[in-house]
Amino acid sequence: MDNLIANFTTQIKEALQIGREAQLNKPEIEIKNVLVSGLGGSGIGGNLVQQIVSENIKIPYNVNKEYSLPAYISENSLVIISSYSGNTEETLSAFTKALNANAKIVCVSSGGRVIEIAKEKRLDHILIPGGMPPRTCLAYSFIQQLFILKRYGLIDIDFESQLENTITLLDENENDIKVQANEISNKICEMHPMIYVCSDMETVAVRFRQQLNENSKMLACHHVIPEMNHNELVGWRSKDDSIAVILFRNENDFDRNQQRIEICKEIFSEYTNTIIELWSKGNSFIERAIYLIHLGDWISYYNAINRQVDAIEVNVIDRLKGELAKSEVVLEQPATEA
């Protein structure tokens, strides 16, 4: 796992090259909405892209993590099927429904049934390298989604130069990131993390929570500001020093949210002694978000070491899949062509 995390900037470079060489056919009709369908490590990229393009894309962009699809999916929809293995049963189910809705479909996968169907149906698809845990392949998935949106004329963000800057940022700060991550892990590895971030960067908190789950083998919670000020804040009533508050912060966070965070820190301090602020670096949303994600990935790895667990193994997920495999998966069949 440490090598996979350490090679993140190499993955960004490879993902950029794959995206630049991808062969995609522009839709013949107007695209009125975009839906990314994917789960877990294959779905988090969709959430990241959703926040990257939120102030640029002019049509609805949503992420789907279900067997089904929203009723609005039609021939005017762009559906991006994201499954690293290509065999995620929920995504395959949604894939079939997208086919039957005559949506414009692009697949991003390392192989499996997704790529087989894409080739059978002559659908646009981007093949990414396989053989790794899906959660370690974030760059491969989210960067391809950005290229798809750009090729279809749905965004005009200069994300390529921002990603090039991100590579430089991470490479220059890698040693410091690892030192900071190790220090934080030493504080929180046996605690209960409560993760907070401003809502426009919620994906950073979701990603960190998921990495703590899978790499560190520990439960964690997250919420966003300002929404948590309207509900969760009331739940802070009992002193509990087993809780570690982790705040992901950016110097350009909205000023009223900055004020909210400072007030919340005072409230948190009445109930726990551990409040950690993780500040981003970078000049763009992409740089800042990826910086914090990479820092969180390293924290989850050092947690695994400190907790003496294998960061790679996901035996309980394998158990779940094994139990599900005992019963037949009944998926809707693609409509036959006239």
Strands 104-109 and 124-127: parallel
Q: How far apart are CA 16 and CA 201, in angstroms?
A: 23
How far out from the chain centre does Cα 73 lie?
Answer: 22
How far out from the chain centre does Cα 77 lie?
Answer: 22
Q: Which of 26, 119, 239, 321 is catalytic?
A: 321
Nearest to 275 by CA among 249, 251, 253, 302: 249
Q: Which of 120, 230, 262, 328 is catalytic?
A: 230
192 flagged as catalytic: no
Q: Which of 214, 217, 222, 287 is catalytic?
A: 214
190 flagged as catalytic: no
Nearest to 108 by CA among 53, 61, 145: 145
Residue 37 DSSP SS3: strand
Tell me whether residue 67 is exposed, middle or buried, using C-beta atoms within 10 angstroms of its C-beta: 0 to 12, 13 to 18, 19 or more: middle
Q: Which residues of 109-145 are buried (b: 16+ CB within 10 A; e: fewer)?
A: bbbbbbbebbeeeebbbbbbeeebbbbbbbbbbbbbb
Contact 32, 104 (CB under 8 A): no
232 flagged as catalytic: no
Active-site residues: which are they? Answer: 214, 230, 321
